[in-house]
Structure 1
Amino acid sequence: MYRTNFGIGHSMKEILDAHVPPGGRLGRGHKGLYDPVNNSLHFQLGLALAALGVITSLVAQHMYSLPAYAFLAQDYTTQAALYTHHQYIAGFIMAGAFAHGAIFFIRDYDPEQNKDNVLARMLEHKEAIISHLSWASLFLGFHTLGLYVHNDVMLAFGTPEKQILIEPVFAQWIQSAHGKTLYGFDVLLSSADSPASNAGQSLWLPGWLDAVNNNSNSLFLTIGPGDFLVHHAIALGLHTTTLILVKGALDARGSKLMPDKKEFGYSFPCDGPGRGGTCDISAWDAFYLAVFWMLNTIGWVTFYWHWKHITLWQGNAAQFNESSTYLMGWLRDYLWLNSSQLINGYNPFGMNSLSVWAWMFLFGHLVWATGFMFLISWRSYWQELIETLAWAHERTPLANVIRWRDKPVALSIVQARLVGLAHFSVGYVFTYAAFLIASTSGKFG
């Protein structure tokens, strides 16, 4: 399809210009897209990051479930570290795709060049896109949190039988169709009488059925109500992150509140008191807020993966099944119980091989907490503090000998957010890395 060095095939421009939906109801399709893509480095970078981010997440998923190396299947600490490493990287890369998409809309997008094509139509329908994402996020948020909190209350009152536990029947049916017999669906490959079972009996099927029904590998994880809830929690995180990023990119050129936003560039703090409410609405602010949601989501993904697998590897899957349906279970039976190695890496009786992770755990918390100094009390507090110090300095003997050419000022809002976000992200990753490696290697070596 694509033109080679020998001139065979079509050019990208021809392919894009020919890609027009039939009937004309969806506009001019991909017409006119070649030049914006070709001439905008931000568009190209956005596309590349989006593709690479998805691929990186898929790499995380497949490295443990289908290990390419014989020893990787046995080395649980490496499996856990590689999965978490690739998911974090995927999160940052995917968020970056939207950031550069927003910069493209501000700096490189030409309305004349893109009349009625997919880009223009996306901008025209942005309210519908954003409100649908908003509705999905609200639905997932209220229902998932509502179920977790209800279950927490039932456990607190000593009536665990009153929990609302929903079996993921559709996912279980799909697993059954592929040969998992545990759920008792008796369908397709999980049914001994089906034509597929009979046809493959002496060929590939015995090995496959042994593999998917073996509880010690990650091919077909046995799923229940805890998995159902956490998948919806992850869906909430994904949709909310996407909502913030999509809104930031689609509103980057302008919104009802600030129609001339594109004239202010990618990042600006506020547009003064003349137009009230213009703080925190630049495309950079959307990216900044979305990164917190992204990190939150990757946290839920990695917590789920790690807890599910350490109980699986220990032959104690019942612990995950029973404790993952309420929030206190996650806090107590996953985080608290598995942090004992970290807490004892360095204690009054001496130290052990995990002490470096125990210190890294503390250091990660310190870096993470430092971020809040920039994120919560940021601008006005620091400005007043610096001015107070400058005033005292000028009125103190000896100290007033040392002067400065420019008056010291605090970081701007945009600068403080960048510094705060960097500390929050790095500290968060360091803290969880130490927990993950110590808790896994402490159990499995």
Structure 2
Amino acid sequence: MLFFGWFHYHKAAPKLAWFQDVESMLNHHLAVATRTWVSLGGHQVLDPKEIPLPYEFILNRDLWLNFIPICRGATPFFTLNWSKYGLSYFSWRIRSESGLWSIDIAHHHLAIAILFTIAGHMYRTNGVLILTTSWHAQLSLNLAMLGSLTIVVAHHMYSMPPYPYLATDYGTQLSLFTHHMWIGGFLIVGTAAHAAIFMVRDYDPTTRYNDLLDRVLRHRDAIISHLNWALAVGGKVALLPIPLGTANFLVHHIHAFTIHVTVLILLKGVLFARSSRLISDKANLGFRFPCDGHGRGYMSSIGTGSCLLRTIRMYNSISVVIFHFSWKMHIMALRFPRFSQGLAQDPTTRRIWFGIATAHDFESHDDITEERLYQNIFASHFGQLAIIFLWTSRNLFHVAWQGNFESWVQDPLHVRPIAHAIWDPHFGQPTVEAFTRGGALGPWYTIGLRTNEDLYTGALFLLFLSAISLIAGWLHLQPKWKPSISWFKNAESRLNHHLLGLFGVSSLAWTGHLVHVAIPASRGESVRWNNFLDVLPHPRG
């Protein structure tokens, strides 16, 4: 292989026309795949090997006849006694090791080889393929096929295990499933990314008028809106007759929702890669045009920003799938004999396991107490608060750093608010018009912030709250400060604490801010630290 690589690069490099001969290339690939499947099927029939586990198969070769009833080598072939090679079809698993019959696998490979042989002679194209003019389009299709195939392999490896004893090796099953699911997820995201790059760089609407892709782009708003409604409403209507009884049904509903949302975002990013209502000149800005999130009015549908959003949705989808599969493997594993299939299907059991969020890491919680579990959940809430404060501080910081907030506040009638004042030669006027309506500056003006110093101060204060929340989460895990189980189960005290400490104090603090900061600032008065003492809520008192 190394020699062929060197030879075809230095001595006999193919021409560009050879790479763009799509029909010949596809026929060639189908022929290679055909030979591969025939060779693999023949190997399984003509050259069976012993299975190393269990050890009986090493000591007694005759046991191999239970898996492949053909151990006659190539003699029947040369003696024209081909009936000896008749492939059977047992259609399901062997009970002893829960694997597919190897004779069925050989039969399967032979059938695929025949289909590919026929397809290699039937394929013809009726028009000019975009694959010959855009490498990104070709890569996008290849990633789509490979990513889909990888995800299919992830599920087939445990539902129809091809290797003996793989079905009962739960650690290997979980590792293979996780490995293939993550690879498939990234390949699918790459599909949409390179399709969007093709739309921005290689697609020419003047030469592709009224073809299939052009008609799809002209109806993209209707397509996306219909898919949005189908996803938001259609699924719920279809599920109305089914009672939400078990967590098994709920988690499959989550799978359907997250996967379809991810695909919808991928499709939207491709269809709106060249332009959208918010930014009509994406094709001129380029795929690498950055997205600053909140500083630009939440415009995450720009090139790489859209890819980031797609990747996050893919993370969510794959994480839920792996969580469910991990829980399934833990429930069915032989090292947990106290769990059975019936218990795993019980609604109460599933509701408890999902509720306490320990199914993804069951072994680490085998010896955990109820008190320790509540303490972990309580501490994690502080971490979630820290993330919220950190996220909001980013919003303030971007508006102060890259916007014209102060200029707009001083002369709102003549200065248009823009959240990104750094000029780009490709930053067209339609984009500027879109940013002026982004609304990134309005909320901070409404709550009384008037200068960049106010924005930076607010961002630092939120960062301080984020750090305090992280420290509080760590502190409540220490032996001296850990709450007891009785504290968590005191429902009356907890309810009073939430009503008074969270809703009461926060509402009172927000009212004070509006009265002593936001309202005076809206009148044009200077806001100082002693506003609480000398600034009246109303000019007349």
TM-score, normalization by structure 2: 0.43
User: Are 2:365 and 1:317 equivalent residues in the alignment?
Assistant: no
User: Are 2:284 and 1:263 equivalent residues in the alignment?
Assistant: yes
Structure 2 SS opposite 1:73: coil
Deviation at 1:289, TM superposition (A): 1.1
Aligned twin of 1:22: none
Change in 2 beyond 3 A, CA 1:86/1:270: closer
- Residues 241 and 290 of structure 1 are in contact (CA less than 8 Å); yes or no, is this contact kept in structure 2? yes
- Residues 140 and 235 of structure 1 are in contact (CA less than 8 Å); yes or no, is this contact kept in structure 2? no
Deviation at 1:285, TM superposition (A): 1.7
Return the letter of the residue paired with 2:309. Answer: L
**C-alpha distance in structure 1 between counterparts of 2:139 and 2:385, whole Å:** 32
Change in 2 beyond 3 A, CA 1:325/1:338: closer
Deviation at 1:317, TM superposition (A): 2.4
| Greater relative CO, 1 or 2 (CA 8 Å, sep 6+) | 1
Deviation at 1:340, TM superposition (A): 2.4
Deviation at 1:234, TM superposition (A): 0.6
Q: State the number of aligned residues.
A: 269
Structure 2 residues without counterparts, runs of 5 or longer:
1-21, 29-117, 369-383, 402-541
- Residues 2 and 11 of structure 1 are in contact (CA less than 8 Å); yes or no, is this contact kept in structure 2? no
Q: Identity, % of aligned pairs?
A: 35
- Residues 330 and 362 of structure 2 are in contact (CA less than 8 Å); yes or no, is this contact kept in structure 1? no
Moved more, 289-298 or 64-73: 64-73
Structure 1 residues without counterparts, runs of 5 or longer:
18-30, 148-162, 167-224, 345-367, 386-445
Structure 2 SS opposite 1:16: coil
- Residues 324 and 330 of structure 1 are in contact (CA less than 8 Å); yes or no, is this contact kept in structure 2? no
Aligned twin of 2:359: 335
Aligned twin of 1:292: 312
Return the letter of the residue paired with 2:230. Answer: A
Q: Cα deviations across residues 330-381 of structure 1 (Å, max 9, x unaligned)?
A: 142643771525988xxxxxxxxxxxxxxxxxxxxxxx99999997644864
Aligned twin of 1:126: 220
Change in 2 beyond 3 A, CA 1:325/1:136: farther
Aligned twin of 1:279: 299
**C-alpha distance in structure 2 between counterparts of 1:338 and 1:164, whole Å:** 28
Structure 1 SS opposite 2:356: helix
Change in 2 beyond 3 A, CA 1:132/1:334: farther
Aligned with residue 165 of structure 1, among 244, 268, 271:
244
**C-alpha distance in structure 2 between counterparts of 1:272 and 1:243, whole Å:** 20
- Residues 327 and 360 of structure 2 are in contact (CA less than 8 Å); yes or no, is this contact kept in structure 1? no
User: Are 2:273 and 1:252 equivalent residues in the alignment?
Assistant: yes
Change in 2 beyond 3 A, CA 1:325/1:268: farther
Aligned with residue 144 of structure 2, among 35, 50, 54:
50
Deviation at 1:263, TM superposition (A): 0.7
After superposition, residues 81-92 of structure 1 pair within 5 angstroms as 81-92=175-186
**C-alpha distance in structure 2 between counterparts of 1:289 and 1:326, whole Å:** 31
Deviation at 1:66, TM superposition (A): 1.8
**C-alpha distance in structure 2 between counterparts of 1:327 and 1:143, whole Å:** 24
Deviation at 1:146, TM superposition (A): 11
Aligned twin of 2:260: 239
**C-alpha distance in structure 1 between counterparts of 2:292 and 2:365, whole Å:** 51
Q: CA RMSD in A?
A: 4.3
After superposition, residues 349-364 of structure 1 pair within 5 angstroms as none
Change in 2 beyond 3 A, CA 1:340/1:383: same
Q: Cα deviations across residues 200-225 of structure 1 (Å, max 9, x unaligned)?
A: xxxxxxxxxxxxxxxxxxxxxxxxx4
- Residues 91 and 294 of structure 1 are in contact (CA less than 8 Å); yes or no, is this contact kept in structure 2? yes
After superposition, residues 1-400 of structure 1 pair within 5 angstroms as 2-3=23-24, 15-17=124-126, 31-32=127-128, 34=129, 36-139=130-233, 164-165=243-244, 225-269=246-290, 277=297, 279-313=299-333, 314=336, 315-323=339-347, 329-332=353-356, 334-335=358-359, 338=362, 340=364, 377-378=393-394, 381=397
**C-alpha distance in structure 2 between counterparts of 1:76 and 1:271, whole Å:** 44
**C-alpha distance in structure 2 between counterparts of 1:378 and 1:342, whole Å:** 40
Deviation at 1:277, TM superposition (A): 4.5
Deviation at 1:290, TM superposition (A): 1.7
- Residues 43 and 104 of structure 1 are in contact (CA less than 8 Å); yes or no, is this contact kept in structure 2? yes
TM-score, normalization by structure 1: 0.51
- Between Structure 1 and Structure 2, whose CA radius of gyration is higher? 2
**C-alpha distance in structure 2 between counterparts of 1:104 and 1:78, whole Å:** 39
- Residues 2 and 10 of structure 1 are in contact (CA less than 8 Å); yes or no, is this contact kept in structure 2? no
- Residues 136 and 239 of structure 1 are in contact (CA less than 8 Å); yes or no, is this contact kept in structure 2? no
Structure 2 SS opposite 1:311: helix
